[in-house]
Amino acid sequence: MSAVELIQSAKNASGLLNRASTSQKNAVLATLANLLEANASEIIDANATDLANGVQNGMAVGLQDRLRLTQERIAALGRAVLDIIALPDPVGGVVSGKTLANGLKISQVRVPFGVIGMIYEARPNVTIDISALAIKSGNALVLRGGSAAENTNRVLIGLVKSALEQHGFSPDAIQTVDAFGRDGAKAIMTARGLVDVLIPRGSANLIQTVVQESKVPVIETGDGVVHIYVDESADLEKAVPIILNSKIQRPSVCNSLETLLVNQKVASKLLPKLAKGLAEADVTVHADAEAKVLMPGAEPATEEDWKTEYLALELAVRVVADLDQALEHIAKYSTRHTESILTEDIRSAERFLSEVDSAVVMVNSSTRFTDGGEFGFGAEVGISTQKLHARGPMGLEVLTSTKWLVRGDGQVRS
Mean pLDDT confidence for 230-256: 96
Q: Which tens digits make up the pLDDT trace of 170-197? A: 999 999 999 999 999 999 999 999 999 9
Q: Which tens digits make up the pLDDT trace of 337-396? A: 999 999 999 999 999 999 999 999 999 999 999 998 899 887 888 899 988 889 999 999
pLDDT at 47 over 90: yes
Mean pLDDT confidence for 273-302: 96
Mean pLDDT confidence for 230-257: 96
CA distances from 99 to 104, 145, 178, 407 (A): 6, 46, 49, 9
Task: Characterise 361 by phi-psi region: left (phi > 0), alpha (psi -120 to 50), beta (else).
Answer: beta
CA pair distance 87, 137, nearest whole angstrom: 11
Single pTM value for the model: 0.86
Q: Where along the chain do its domains lie?
A: 3-220+390-407, 226-369
Query: Above pLDDT 70, what percent of the chain?
Result: 100
CA pair distance 391, 211, nearest whole angstrom: 16
pLDDT of residue 221: 86
- Please check whether residue 174 is in contact with residue 208, taking contact to mean a CB–CB distance below 8 angstroms: no
pLDDT at 115 over 90: yes
- How far from chain centre, in Å, is Cα 327? 25
Mean pLDDT confidence for 48-75: 94
Q: Which tens digits make up the pLDDT trace of 190-229? A: 999 999 999 998 888 888 999 999 999 999 887 889 999 9
Q: Which tens digits make up the pLDDT trace of 146-156? A: 999 999 999 99
pLDDT of residue 320: 98
CATH of domain 3-220+390-407: 3.40.605.10
- Please check whether residue 352 is in contact with residue 361, taking contact to mean a CB–CB distance below 8 angstroms: yes
SS3 sequence of the chain: CCHHHHHHHHHHHHHHHHCCCHHHHHHHHHHHHHHHHHCHHHHHHHHHHHHHHHHHCCCCHHHHHHHCCCHHHHHHHHHHHHHHHHCCCCCCCEEEEEECCCCCEEEEEEEECCEEEEEECCCHHHHHHHHHHHHHCCCEEEEECCHHHHHHHHHHHHHHHHHHHHCCCCHHHEEECHHHCHHHHHHHHCCECCECEEEEECCHHHHHHHHHHCCCCECCECCCCEEEEECCCCCHHHHHHHHHHHHHCCCCCCCCEEEEEEECCCHHHHHHHHHHHHHHCCCEEEECHHHHHHCCCCEECCHHHHHCCCCCCEEEEEEECCHHHHHHHHHHHCCCCEEEEECCCHHHHHHHHHHCCCCEEEECCCHHHCCCCCCCCCCCCCEECCCCCCCEECCCHHHEEEEEEEECCCCCCC
Confidence band, pLDDT 50/70/90 cuts, at residue 32: very high
Q: What are the backbone dihedrals phi and psi of residue 343, each rounded to the nearest 5 degrees, phi first?
A: -160, 155
Mean pLDDT confidence for 104-131: 96
Q: What integer best gives the mean pLDDT of the chain?
A: 96
Q: Among the CATH numbers 3.40.309.10, 3.30.360.10, 3.40.50.800, 3.50.50.60, which is that of 226-369?
A: 3.40.309.10
CA pair distance 377, 267, nearest whole angstrom: 37
Task: Characterise 219 by phi-psi region: left (phi > 0), alpha (psi -120 to 50), beta (else).
Answer: beta
Q: What angle do CA 244, 246, 247 make, to 5 degrees?
A: 65
